[in-house]
Structure 1
Amino acid sequence: MTNRIEISSIIKKRTLGLAFVLGAVSLAFAQQKVSVNGKIMSKQNIAVPYASVTFSNKANKLYSDAVLSDDKGIYKLDLTPGNYDITIEAIDFKKTTLNKQISAAADLGNFTVEAESSVTGTKTSDIQGVVITGQAVKAYRVEIDKKVYDPSLDIVAKGGNLQDVLANVPSVDVDTDGTVSMRGNTNVRFLINGKPSSMLGIDDGADALKSIPADQIDRIEVITNPSSKYEASGTAGILNIILKKSKKIGFNGSIEGTLGYLPTTRLNTNLSWRKGAWTYYINGGGGYNRSKSTNNSEFNSFLNPQILNDGFSLKSIQDGTNKSESKNYNVTTGFLVDVTDKSTLNASVMFRNFNNESTGNTNYFDNVIIKDSAATGYPNVPFTLTNQFTNRLNVGTNVNNSFQADLGYDQKIGDKGQLISLATSYQKSKSEGTSFITENGFDNKLDIPTLTLNNILTKTENSTFLAKADYELPIGTASKIEAGARFDSNKNDYDYYVDESKNNAPTTILPNFTSKTFYNENIFAGYAQFKSKISNFGYQLGLRAENTDINVNFKRISDAVQINVNKNYLKFFPSVFLSYDLNKNNQLLLNYSRRINRPRSFFLIPFMSYNNNRNLFSGNPDLNPTYENSFELGYNLTKSKVTFNPTLYLKKSEDEVNFYQYSGLDENNKTVIYTMPVNAGSETNYGLDVNATYDPFKWWKIMGSADLYGYNNSGNYQGFDFSGKGFSTRLRLTNTFKPTKTTSFQIQGFYRGAENNVSTQRKPMYAVNLGASQTIWKGNGTISFNIQDIFNTRARENFVTTPAYSQYSYMQWQPRQFSISLSYRFKQGDKIDQPKKKKDINSNSQGGDDQGPPM
């Protein structure tokens, strides 16, 4: 494993490189500017606070800028010398324009604005029907087609990553091994800014989630029942991760650093520059962390009494730990420009590097059968039992490099809301892994030590191309037609190589584990939907068609022929959304959608990994997609201090994918568990998902969620019974206290109930987290501290019982952790949104894809 000096050297080099890039960007943003200031006054010589002052450069729009006056009417900004048209707007005052030549730093003096004429002579009294419903900022809000989570108020996840944030999102559960599920279903579709992203890597699981810093996340959209506008993949639903983009003028930025234990360091920065029609941004950072997981299991194999005189079991006990060190770096840069008043162009590129070094140490104790009578020394006894002890040391590395380029264009047509959105994305990702395994064994009966050495080399390359077009046509004031088309192309190449040397004998290739695979998937999709509202009743009807073409070529050295898998199918996915406004703050929602879960690429490949030779996974070329019909009935109550959102749901799946397990003996008579995905039976999930917030006082906020659910599964595959029914719970409660304006504390509790079926029993699990934050440096800085899993209880325990064997397993992905973070915000500008005289302010603003509507 890389020593501390090497790690330190790498981090220094990468940090210096990042600092150089960010420094270059800062210099690029710099201009030959002069400082100007002034004051906005009324004709009565009274200061006008919070007036919008826009300087439009007549020669070059790029040099234009804007600023808001402070509470004393004073403004200040830096401008490139030139001739400017100056526009001043303020609530209750007439719009004022004038012209100035800016040639040097200067005090421009007072600008006078004239008050609006009013029948009553008093401010704002002529504004009719304005209802301000703005409420205290909440971490969680409900919208008509999704739920939106704001991680900025999540103190527990400060300084963490995407996986830490998801662990706190209502309706979302993160297992001890990093597996993400929604309402118990792990088939979650992840999107970044509305699109698949190489930031999440190729089948990287939890490691990919750890590479996205929490500081770069603006919000998370939880879409439990997507409409036909969204891709049909993901029976659990969609998690759309919206990354930050500045909406402020001038040069703005923030930087955040984190230190923690197990040793964790992170440095992330977000920079943006908005000037006139152009917005440039760059987000980047890196981190180093160590992790430690624990795996223990006990296996008993039941032998047929007819084979032996007495029935007994073969036992295998495993006790393992895995330690890893990982480094990750990422940078995203791009721009957005208003080409015309009705057209916008955006482009971005992203680079990501993830490097992991791990050491796994597992001790095995095995009862094994020796069937050779000559070896037993008793000709009349064809077998005997013996004990074997084995230590398996696995030292491995994995490097992943990803690149992504996005381009988008939005064009408004006319003045009635018609919109065409075009987007394309190209992604390239490459992973290379190496493992060196040393296995020392000893048989206490035969007194024979063994030494086995294995080399494992893996290489995975992925390329993805996406192109989509969306069209919106408003009809009147309450109806809209939406339609679009999309093409996805996904290519994965897998190379897997394993060799072995026993007792210093020459190295040989293991043919059953050495293979090469080409996976190619193309999906053509089109959708149309109509939405409208009649009085208090709203509805949306949609239909989506997707044609899937999958081709897999698999070649294993031990096979004489190449295996080809070809699948082509056209399916339709309808959706229906209904809503009824009981009154201003109460709404009923009823919806239905049909979804698909296509098998992951390596689920279709009949190869077996060798990192754990006692637990071998093999894909299944005959695997078919799972289809699901999903129904939801929800109620939403929104008031200033309370939000309450209970949802009844029912999900019924067909051709459910379950994992068939069977035991066997390897060439050394040691027990091996084989796992293979199969289509077996159906699954029904139903329950009540309740999310609520309550602010009893200004200094105390409560957010809670409860998923009370039942399940009824049926299915059997070669004697392995997947059926089972029961009831379980998932609970989460977060309390945030703000004793002063600059101090916050947060405590969070999580509980997941037991769940059982015929073959598997899962024990309950709970965890408690704590966080605290303090605002410093006149509001420009924040220092945060958190402890994850205070009582060190976050672990998974399972019991599996079949006619052939029983197994107990314990797994803790990460022990108790704590960290401290420091963030600093500099040159924060003001949002350029112009004030309006007549508007409704509603905190439940619509979310969505910053890159255009997802599809």
Structure 2
Amino acid sequence: MTDRIEISSIIRKRTLGLVFVLGAASLAFAQQKVNVSGKIVDKQNQPVPYASVSFNNKASKLNSDATLTDEKGDYKLDLMPGNYDIIIEAIDFKKSTLNRQITAAGNLGNFSVEAEAAVTNTKTQDIQGVVITAQAVKPYRVEIDKKVYDPSLDIVAKGGNLQDVLANVPSVDVDTDGTVSMRGNSNVRFLINGKPSSMLGIDDGANALQSIPADQIERIEVITNPSSKYEASGTAGILNIILKKSKKVGFNGSVEGTLGYLPNTRLNTNLSWRKGAWTYYINGGGGYNRNKSKNNSDFNSYLDPQTLNDGFSMRSIQNGISEGENKNYNVTTGFVVDVTDKSTLNASVMFRNFNNESTGQTDYFDNVIIKDRNATGYPNVPYTLQEQYTNRLNTGTNVNNSFQADLGFEQKIGDKGQLLSLATSYQKNKSDGTSLITENGYDNEFDIATNTINNIITNSINTTFLAKADYELPIGEASKLEAGARFDANKNDYDYYVDQSQNNGPVSVLPNFTSNTFYNENILAGYAQFKSKIENFGYQVGLRAENTNINVDFQRVIDAEKKNVEKNYLKFFPSVFLSYDLGKNNQLLLNYSRRINRPRSFFLIPFMSYNNNRNLFSGNPDLNPTYENSFELGYSLSKSKFSLNPTLYFKKSEDEVNMYQYSGLNEQGNTVLYTMPVNAGSETQYGLDLNATYDPFKWWKIMASADIFGYKSDGSYEDFDFSGDGFSSRFRLTNTFKPTKTTSFQIQGFYRGAQNTVSTQRKAMYAVNLGASQTIWKGNGTISFNIQDIFNTRSRESLVTTPSYSQYNYMQWQPRQFSVSLSYRFKQGDKVEQPKRKKDINNNASGDEDQVPM
């Protein structure tokens, strides 16, 4: 009951108030309008469906408006009386302009448009003004350099978050701990609306993904082999999350609320108001959820094998359960204005708060080897075995506040498609955490009980500045030159403090774990790429240059001087994309790109976290970036009921970063696993990524994806061998049924095959999810229900074996969950896109103003 009252208070204060304020504001702008209607026809008096009809008021742009004709060519809208220039645009028809004086409500009659005079029998390439919005027939589409996934048909993720949506995206895999990978590679670069975003917080972890509601996501671009126009980081590829930004006229919006178990409660709203040249929007909401994870391990450490009998080992059994409570809210507001017919200005600000309270309990059972016990009565035994029991309780809080401000400007130059785009972004994240660790131990040999208390205080500030410029120059009817420059400045400050008291003794600072770190990274990039098309053959070639400058200052309490890491390197990243149109919606795609994986700041410094004192991670100042060459050969077939998109891929990395692990004993004689990143050899991955859809009936849609791949690793470090090869697979199948016009349900399952290397054996995993939805309130509302992991099988099991230790690990991030969500949509107009730019000749038609790929 307390939780429900607290959740209700959060939502009422932070979200509902926002809805009512904007609703009241929209009424304040209401004026006395008249309803006008009409019909658009061709020269044969046949209706022209989905034509764009713009009414530009001669006296005031604020009174201008626009709409689309329906399938019968009819339109209607409310206008202020006045003199209007009426502009009519439709695919394969000439642009038409006329003038009318509107004084009262009524029908304006038929307006006629003339068909475009086609030079060839091909469809018109210059689509200058119309974007038709309807429910997507296919959940994803394939373009020359990316796949675009539409989550609107994803019933299983309704009422969920970004992590839930990503679990259903083709070529993407979400692990039990929230780690996102593409084709088995977790080095994924996340972008929000085409650029890094504070919405993801300081890191890209599961908590950040869970704070972005599914209801705010318009689409996800899966870029497995990015072109030179995109930043080069992320060897796995790029996931570009495009958030909703309504372009509908009048006041429009939606509200969605969710209730679920463990529990999971969320309320979100998306609101917009478009009047004349101005569009205002605001998206926001709040949420509360609990999570519960389980982590068990069995660790065997082999010490001094020449001295000890064969098979004699030290064993540590760990059983842990973690629970957490997360509260978050976010709000994004901004505007887009057409300054002139050829220039557009957009600005936005974003605020985000994430608050986490966690509790973790781990029970340890240790068989500890004690050496040289002569003084205590063991004259003939050089080693003795001692049993210890330890209970570790960790309670902590973390508060993250994020701010982001964006400003963009687009200027069309001339009438042949030249475009200059400028954008800048300022982002700041501040995270403060506290943790109290209480550890009670018992030694059965000496009948000694110990009590240790640790306090951990963490503070981190991340500041990012981004500035970029892009230029597009069409050349003739079939070519385009693109060029641009970008500057990224990232500054991270970390403070980490740990103290300790034992058996109610004095408090002392732990010098090995108390440190200050200052991390600065500046990246200056420039690119140029050319694309063209010769009959059925399309090509795009590009080259990107990135100069990276990194400076890290690290100081521990025990060090008299700071440790400094400096890295400066200039690298080039080419890309080639080829396409061949086979006709009848058949296309071949071949591409190549070179990518980079820069080490994270924590990977470059000898920093160690104390949250788990049995698993200690330390950075490596000598670590270098990983470079990868990636090749893809794809085929795209699209029919009315069937689509097939197989892709063969091959990736080869150099200076691969692997985790070197070794075991040891701490001061209490307990087992400790140390981990450090190292550059060790290379890695090759090859496989078939297959995505398909099939609609056997109007009421049944099937989406399937499979990734069947082989891998080979070469490399070693000290006594740890990273070499290995094998074959594995990932499968996902989604069935959507629509028994009536207003009812849908969906069942989705996935399977991930076992994957082995020389030292690691990872078992197979599968899960099944279920969702259902019902449209209500004359199509303006939807109620949805879903169950995640019906059979509670989503867990990870692995076994690591090395010459010095072996470890079995079981991990379940979340148990079975279910939720119910209710959404309501209110609107005053239809979606209309004003004339902007030409359609990309190579079908790379992503000309959205909210994308910033540089």
TMscore range, shorter length:
over 0.9
The Cα shift of 1:308 comes to 3.4
The Cα shift of 1:851 comes to 2.5
User: Closer, same or farther in 2 for the Cα pair 1:70/1:473, shift >3 Å?
Assistant: closer
Structure 1 residue aligned with 2:29: 31
1:808 aligns with 2:805: no
Structure 1 residue aligned with 2:355: 355
The Cα offsets for residues 237-289 of structure 1, whole Å up to 9 and x where unpaired, read as 01000011112111000000011111000000000011111111000001000
The Cα shift of 1:589 comes to 1.0
Structure 2 residue aligned with 1:756: 756
User: Closer, same or farther in 2 for the Cα pair 1:478/1:67, shift >3 Å?
Assistant: closer
Structure 2 residue aligned with 1:340: 340
Instruction: Find the aligned partners of 2:241 and 2:114 in 1 and give their Cα distance.
Output: 47
Instruction: Find the aligned partners of 1:327 and 1:435 in 2 and give their Cα distance.
Output: 18
RMSD: 2.9
The Cα shift of 1:445 comes to 1.3
Where does 1:223-622 land on structure 2 (aligned, <5 Å)? 223-308=223-308, 311-371=311-371, 373=373, 376-622=376-622
The Cα offsets for residues 676-704 of structure 1, whole Å up to 9 and x where unpaired, read as 11000100000111111111111111111
Structure 2 residue aligned with 1:15: 12
Q: Could you tell me whether the CA contact under 8 Å between 1:262 and 1:290 is conserved in 2?
A: yes
The Cα offsets for residues 597-617 of structure 1, whole Å up to 9 and x where unpaired, read as 000111112111011111111
The alignment partner of 2:105 has SS state of strand
The Cα shift of 1:38 comes to 3.9
The Cα shift of 1:60 comes to 2.1
Instruction: Find the aligned partners of 2:554 and 2:51 in 1 and give their Cα distance.
Output: 67
Instruction: Find the aligned partners of 2:366 and 2:495 in 1 and give their Cα distance.
Output: 32
Work out the number of aligned pairs and report it.
Answer: 839
Structure 2 residue aligned with 1:100: 102
Deviates more, 1:68-77 or 1:768-777: 68-77
User: Closer, same or farther in 2 for the Cα pair 1:411/1:48, shift >3 Å?
Assistant: closer
Where does 1:67-106 land on structure 2 (aligned, <5 Å)? 67=67, 77=77, 79=79, 83-85=82-84, 87=86, 89=88, 97-101=99-103
1:178 aligns with 2:175: no
The Cα shift of 1:83 comes to 2.8
Instruction: Find the aligned partners of 2:48 and 2:307 in 1 and give their Cα distance.
Output: 95
The alignment partner of 1:397 has SS state of strand
Structure 1 residue aligned with 2:129: none
Where does 1:657-736 land on structure 2 (aligned, <5 Å)? 657-736=657-736
Instruction: Find the aligned partners of 1:714 and 1:117 in 2 and give their Cα distance.
Output: 66
The Cα shift of 1:17 comes to 3.6
Where does 1:108-147 land on structure 2 (aligned, <5 Å)? 108-113=105-110, 137-147=137-147
The Cα offsets for residues 742-773 of structure 1, whole Å up to 9 and x where unpaired, read as 11111111011011111000000011111111
Structure 2 residue aligned with 1:104: none
The Cα offsets for residues 263-319 of structure 1, whole Å up to 9 and x where unpaired, read as 000000000011111111000001000010000000011123433356501000000
Deviates more, 1:20-29 or 1:700-709: 20-29
Instruction: Find the aligned partners of 1:71 and 1:561 in 2 and give their Cα distance.
Output: 74
Structure 2 residue aligned with 1:850: 849
The Cα offsets for residues 539-565 of structure 1, whole Å up to 9 and x where unpaired, read as 111111111000000000122221000
Structure 1 residue aligned with 2:128: none
Instruction: Find the aligned partners of 2:48 and 2:338 in 1 and give their Cα distance.
Output: 30
The alignment partner of 1:438 has SS state of strand
Instruction: Find the aligned partners of 2:512 and 2:225 in 1 and give their Cα distance.
Output: 42
Structure 1 residue aligned with 2:765: 765
The alignment partner of 2:488 has SS state of strand
Letter in structure 2 aligned against 1:16: K
Identity %: 75
Instruction: Find the aligned partners of 1:468 and 1:197 in 2 and give their Cα distance.
Output: 15
Instruction: Find the aligned partners of 1:309 and 1:349 in 2 and give their Cα distance.
Output: 66
Letter in structure 1 aligned against 2:22: V
The alignment partner of 1:854 has SS state of coil
Where do 5+ consecutive residues of structure 2 fail to align? 126-131
The Cα shift of 1:627 comes to 0.4
Letter in structure 1 aligned against 2:853: P
Structure 2 residue aligned with 1:633: 633
Instruction: Find the aligned partners of 2:532 and 2:52 in 1 and give their Cα distance.
Output: 37
Q: Could you tell me whether the CA contact under 8 Å between 2:691 and 2:704 is conserved in 1?
A: yes
User: Closer, same or farther in 2 for the Cα pair 1:7/1:679, shift >3 Å?
Assistant: farther
Q: Could you tell me whether the CA contact under 8 Å between 1:304 and 1:311 is conserved in 2?
A: no
Letter in structure 2 aligned against 1:419: L
Structure 2 residue aligned with 1:220: 220
User: Closer, same or farther in 2 for the Cα pair 1:359/1:815, shift >3 Å?
Assistant: same
1:61 aligns with 2:61: yes
The Cα offsets for residues 794-822 of structure 1, whole Å up to 9 and x where unpaired, read as 10000000000100000000011111111
Instruction: Find the aligned partners of 2:668 and 2:519 in 1 and give their Cα distance.
Output: 34
Q: TM-score if structure 1 supplies the norm length?
A: 0.93
User: Closer, same or farther in 2 for the Cα pair 1:492/1:473, shift >3 Å?
Assistant: same
Where do 5+ consecutive residues of structure 1 fail to align? 102-106, 119-123
Instruction: Find the aligned partners of 1:238 and 1:409 in 2 and give their Cα distance.
Output: 24
Where does 1:828-843 land on structure 2 (aligned, <5 Å)? 828-833=828-833
The alignment partner of 2:247 has SS state of coil
Instruction: Find the aligned partners of 2:51 and 2:779 in 1 and give their Cα distance.
Output: 22
Q: Could you tell me whether the CA contact under 8 Å between 2:325 and 2:356 is conserved in 1?
A: yes
User: Closer, same or farther in 2 for the Cα pair 1:246/1:385, shift >3 Å?
Assistant: same
Q: Could you tell me whether the CA contact under 8 Å between 1:142 and 1:844 is conserved in 2?
A: no
User: Closer, same or farther in 2 for the Cα pair 1:8/1:204, shift >3 Å?
Assistant: farther
Deviates more, 1:65-74 or 1:736-745: 65-74
User: Closer, same or farther in 2 for the Cα pair 1:98/1:640, shift >3 Å?
Assistant: same
Structure 2 residue aligned with 1:121: none
The alignment partner of 1:231 has SS state of coil
Instruction: Find the aligned partners of 1:116 and 1:439 in 2 and give their Cα distance.
Output: 80
Q: Could you tell me whether the CA contact under 8 Å between 2:11 and 2:287 is conserved in 1?
A: no
